[in-house]
Amino acid sequence: MRRLIYLSVSRREGGLIWGDEVMTEANQVTEEAVREALRQVVDPELHLDVVSLGMIREIDLGASPVHIGMILTTPFCPFAPWMLEQVKQVAEKAVDDRVQVEMLPEQWHPEMMEDPSLLGF
């Protein structure tokens, strides 16, 4: 069995939001569940989560370690190391396994967002 962490809305140290653990069968860890967990990682400048911003570009649950490819809204983001580590920690809790987060060279555009109107586009 693996643990999925369903995260609540209570802030804790380091900007992470932790919540209740729910036990599930190993085969039920899905990309959707990982994306839902990653919604708790918030860009400190834009105050929106990395999934809504379209920063999570790929999740490979079949890789060992699990692979997550992400981009930043700007290539010189001063919060890049912090955000990569937050994505890694939250994803590792969600899949109960090791995770490798790769910074992809793709350039971010507001059209990548789930709802670009959140930033006025």
Closest C-alpha among 34, 87, 37, 39 to residue 62: 34
How confident is the model at residue 47, as a pLDDT? 95
Which range is least confidently modeled, 4-13, 77-86, 105-114?
A: 4-13
116 token code pair: 């670009």
Say which residue the tokens 């060279």 belong to: 105
Predicted confidence (pLDDT) at residue 96 exceeds the cutoff of 80: yes
Predicted confidence (pLDDT) at residue 1 exceeds the cutoff of 70: no
Per-residue pLDDT tens for 53-62?
A: 999 999 999 9
* CATH class of residue range 2-119: alpha beta
CA distance 101 to 22: 24
pLDDT band at 27 (very low <50, low <70, confident <90, very high): low
Average pLDDT over the chain reads: 83
Predicted confidence (pLDDT) at residue 2 exceeds the cutoff of 90: no
Closest C-alpha among 119, 31, 26, 16 to residue 69: 31
Q: For 9, phi and psi rounded to 5 degrees?
A: -110, 40
Q: How many CB atoms lie within 10 A of CB 98?
A: 11
**DSSP 8-state assignment for residue 32:** H
The half-sphere exposure of 58 on its side-chain side, counting CA atoms within 13 A, is: 13
